[in-house]
Structure 1
Amino acid sequence: MREWLQDPATRSRLRGSLLAGGIGDALGAKTEFDSIDRIREIAGPAGITDLIPAYGGIGRITDDTQMTLFTLEGLVRAHAGARREQGTFATADTAVPVEQSLQLAYQRWLHTQGIAWERARGPQETSPEPDGWLVTNRELFSRRAPGLTCFGELEAYGRTGVRAGVDKPVNNSKGCGGVMRAAPVALWSDDLAEVFRLGAESAALTHGHPSGYLSSGAFAVIVHELLLGKPLLDAVATARVELEKYQGHEEQSVALDQALALAREGAPTPEKLETLGQGNIGETALSMSVYVALTTTDANSALLASVNHSGDSDSTGSVCGNLVGAMYGEEALRTDWLEKLELAEVIGRLADDALAEFGPDAPGDDRWYARYPAY
C-alpha cells in the first residue's frame, strides 16, 4: 500500500511540481533560444523577473506542459484500466502495456495540435473521437511551438501503429522532448528501477538516443525521491545508481557531474549556466535544471534563474520547475504567478486525481472510469 500518497505534504509537492513546471514553461516561453543579451533587451537589465506576454497572453504554457499533462493522464488511465480488469494492480501484468497507454495519450495530444483524430489515433485505435476528461479542455487545443521530433514521430505512429522503445529506437535524437514531459512517471511505482525504466521508455517513444531517454529515466527517479521529501543531492545520487546500469549513460552521467561541480561555485548566473549547455538536449536540460535547483534557496528564484540564459528557456524552466516545485511545495510558489498560469485549475485537478488513483483507496465508480477510461 502506498500510504505516503495520502500525506498532505505529498499533495503539496506533486501539485507544486506540476504547477511550477507550468510556471517555468510560461516564464521562458517568449524567449526560447534568444540570447541573454536579447532577453535583457526584452525584459530589462536583470533579465526575466516576471511573466511576460507570449502566445497572445500572460502565463501561457507551451508543448512542454501540455505533454506533461498527457503523460500523467496516460499513467492514470493505465493504472485505472489494470485495476478494473484485474481487481488488483500489477505493473508487469497489465493487459495493455503502460507504454501503449502513454503512446495513446501522446496521440491525443497530437490531435490537440490540429491533426485529425483519424490520422492521429493510429491504425489499431478505432474510436471515432478521443475519450477521457483531459482532452475535453479546449485550452489544450493550441499549438505552442511543438518539437519537430515529437510531432514527427507521433505522426509516424499515427500512420503505422508501430511503437518505438529503448530496445527499438525510432531515431537517433537526444532532444529534450522526452525529459521535459517525464516528471509524472515518478508516481508510477515505488520500485526505483521500474520508475527509471518507464521514464526512459516514455521518452523512447519519440527519442532514440540514450541521452534522449536516459535523461528522462534519471529525472523521473529524482522527482520520485523529492516527492518523498528526500534532499536533492541524495535524489541525484539515487538516480545515478540507476542511470549507470544502462548502456550509453556516459553523456548524462558526465553532465550531472558537471552540474554538481559547478554548483559548488555558488549562486547561479546566466553565464555559468550556459557553460553546461543550451538545454535543448536531454542531458543538458536535466543538468542545467539540477544546477539551478541546487544553487538557489527558494522555488521562485530558481524559476527565474532557470529561464535567464541563451538556450531552450521554456524547457529548462519546465524541468527545473518540476524539481523545485517538488522540493518546496505548492505553497512556496508566487500566488500572482499561479493566478495567471494557463490551465492551473486543470493541472491541480489532474494532480489530485492522480494521487487518488495511485493511492490506497482509488475510486471505482463508473464516473471515474468514464473520466479515465482504460488506455
Structure 2
Amino acid sequence: MTRVAEETWRARVRGCLLGGAIGDALGGPVEFEDARSILAKYPDGVRAFVAGGWPAGTITDDTQMTLFTVEGLIRASVRTDRGIGFTVGVLHGAYDRWLDTQTLSGPSGERNGWLQGEQWLYARRAPGNTCLTALAEARKGGPKIPQLGAQAVNDSKGCGGVMRVAPFGLLPEYFPADWVFDKAAEAAGYTHGHPTGKLASGALAAIIRELCGGASLDDALTKATDLLTKHEGHEETSTALTLARHLAATAPAGPVTVERLGGGWVAEEALAIAVFAALAYPAPEQFLDALALAVTHSGDSDSTGAICGNILGALHGETALPAELVFTVEGRSTILQLADDFALEFTQGRRLHGDYGPYTAWFDRYPGG
C-alpha cells in the first residue's frame, strides 16, 4: 500500500464490510414498508435494529452475497500461484456456492473451502429472484461468464448486482482502477445483464477504491464518474449520481428528497440513494444519521442501507461504526474473519501459499477455484 498506511487500509476493509452489514440489517425489516408507516413508528428514522420477519440485527441476502464476493476474490488470488492468473471468473463459482445456501438446508459436504460450511448462512432472506434464476440457469449450462458488452444473461438492472460488489473496491492499488471498475461490472453481469445493472456496480467499486486510497467522498465520486462515462450505456447511472450530488448540496436530508432519486429497486437508484445519504452526513460521527437516512424510505431499504454502509465504512474505517450496532449485528465474527483474511491474502499471500507450498491450511481454507 502506498497512498495510505496498510493499517489504515485494513481498518477500511473491515469498516466497509461491517458497515455494509449494519446498513443491511437496519433496512431489512422495513424493506417493504412505505415511508409514512416507517416514520409513524420511528419518527427519527430507523436508528436501531428492529425485528421484522427475523430477529433484530439479522442480515439479508445483500450481505450474504457480499461475503461470497470476498471469498471469491481471495480464491482468485490463491490461483495465481498455480500459474492460472487472477481470474475473476472464480466469482461465478462463489455465487454458485451462495446459491447452495438458498436451496439446501445446510452444508452438503460436497463443496470445499470454509465459508459454505457456515450453517448460519443457510437462511433465505428474501433473495432476489433475478439472482436465483440467473445462477440456476447457469448451472444448467446457460450464459455463465459474460464480458462487458457480450451477450447478456438477461436485461435486468435490478440492484442485486450493485449491492454485492463493494469488495472489488477493497483490492490494493496494484490492481488498476479501470480493471477494478470493469471486473466489478462483469461480476454483476453474471446475474444482471442490463448495462446500467453492470455499470452502476463498476461505479460503486470505483468509489470504494478511491475512498480506501484516501480520497474524499467528492473526489471519489468524480473519479468514478470519469471512469463510468467511458462506457457505452452509462447515461442512467451518470444522471442518477449527478442528481444525488445536486440534491445533497441543495435539498433537505429526508425521505421526500430520497424518493426523488427513486426506490432503490434498480441499480442506479440504489447507488444514488446511498451516495446522497453519505453526502448528506459525511462526518464520522454522523455515520448513524447517514444510515438512518439511507433506509428510511419506501423503497429497497436493505440494499440502499448496505451500499451506504459500504461507502462510509470505506471512508472512515471501522472505528466510526456505531458500537451498539457492531455489537449485535448477525455474523460479525464471520464478517471480520473474512475481512482480515482478505487483508492477509492481498498483503502476505506468498507467506500463506506459493513458496510455502500449495497444500497448506490456507489453501484448504481458500482453494483456488
Work out which of the residue numbers 36, 42, 45 in structure 1 matches 2:43.
Answer: 45
Alpha carbons 2:105, 2:122 under 8 Å: kept:
no
Alpha carbons 1:172, 1:209 under 8 Å: kept:
yes
Work out which of the residue numbers 86, 104, 119 in structure 1 matches 2:93.
Answer: 104
1:148 equivalent to 2:129? Answer yes
Q: Residue 292 of structure 2: SS of its match in structure 1?
A: helix
1:342 equivalent to 2:324? Answer no
1:290 equivalent to 2:275? Answer yes
Alpha carbons 2:295, 2:301 under 8 Å: kept:
yes
Q: Answer with 131-140 or 161-170: which moved more.
A: 161-170
1:301: how far off? 1.2
Q: Residue 265 of structure 2: SS of its match in structure 1?
A: coil
Work out which of the residue numbers 163, 168, 182 in structure 2 matches 1:197.
Answer: 182
1:40: how far off? 2.2
Alpha carbons 1:3, 1:360 under 8 Å: kept:
no
Alpha carbons 1:274, 1:309 under 8 Å: kept:
yes
Work out which of the residue numbers 58, 63, 66 in structure 1 matches 2:64.
Answer: 66
Cα separation, 2, equivalents of 1:25 and 1:130 = 27
1:315: how far off? 0.3
1:8: how far off? 1.3
**Alignment match, 1:85:** 82
**Alignment match, 2:52:** 54
Instruction: Evaluate the alpha carbon distance shift between residue 137 and residue 117 of structure 1 in structure 2; reply closer, same or farther with a 3 A threshold.
Output: closer
Q: Counterpart amino acid of 2:155?
A: N
Q: Residue 359 of structure 1: SS of its match in structure 2?
A: helix
1:359: how far off? 1.2
**Alignment match, 2:16:** 17
Alpha carbons 2:166, 2:310 under 8 Å: kept:
yes
1:58: how far off? 1.5
Q: Answer with 131-140 or 354-363: which moved more.
A: 354-363
**Alignment match, 2:162:** 179
Cα separation, 1, equivalents of 2:111 and 2:322 = 35
Q: Counterpart amino acid of 2:97?
A: R
RMSD between superposed Cα atoms in Å:
1.9
1:227 equivalent to 2:216? Answer no
Alpha carbons 2:70, 2:167 under 8 Å: kept:
yes
1:344: how far off? 0.7
Q: Residue 250 of structure 2: SS of its match in structure 1?
A: coil
Work out which of the residue numbers 210, 220, 232 in structure 2 matches 1:247.
Answer: 232
1:136 equivalent to 2:117? Answer yes
Q: Counterpart amino acid of 1:26?
A: A
Alpha carbons 2:92, 2:145 under 8 Å: kept:
no
Alpha carbons 1:33, 1:312 under 8 Å: kept:
yes
1:81: how far off? 1.4
Cα separation, 2, equivalents of 1:131 and 1:195 = 27
1:371 equivalent to 2:368? Answer no
- Listed one character per residue, the Cα deviations across residues 188-214 of structure 1 (whole Å, up to 9, x for unaligned) are 453011000101001000001011000
Number of residues paired by the alignment? 356
Unaligned 5+ segments in structure 1 are 87-92, 119-126
Cα separation, 1, equivalents of 2:316 and 2:221 = 16
1:136: how far off? 1.3
Work out which of the residue numbers 287, 299, 312 in structure 2 matches 1:311.
Answer: 299
Q: Counterpart amino acid of 1:171?
A: N
**Alignment match, 1:263:** 248
Cα separation, 1, equivalents of 2:190 and 2:59 = 23
Q: Residue 196 of structure 1: SS of its match in structure 2?
A: helix
1:168: how far off? 2.2
Cα separation, 1, equivalents of 2:79 and 2:215 = 31
Cα separation, 2, equivalents of 1:198 and 1:305 = 30
Q: Answer with 135-144 or 356-365: which moved more.
A: 356-365
Q: Residue 29 of structure 2: SS of its match in structure 1?
A: coil
1:57: how far off? 1.1
Q: Residue 30 of structure 2: SS of its match in structure 1?
A: coil
Alpha carbons 1:117, 1:129 under 8 Å: kept:
no
Cα separation, 2, equivalents of 1:275 and 1:137 = 40
Cα separation, 1, equivalents of 2:193 and 2:104 = 23
Alpha carbons 1:5, 1:11 under 8 Å: kept:
no
Q: Answer with 219-228 or 290-299: which moved more.
A: 290-299
Q: Counterpart amino acid of 1:11?
A: R
Q: Counterpart amino acid of 1:173?
A: S
Q: Residue 113 of structure 1: SS of its match in structure 2?
A: helix
Q: Counterpart amino acid of 1:132?
A: G
Alpha carbons 1:292, 1:305 under 8 Å: kept:
yes
Instruction: Evaluate the alpha carbon distance shift between residue 359 and residue 172 of structure 1 in structure 2; reply closer, same or farther with a 3 A threshold.
Output: same
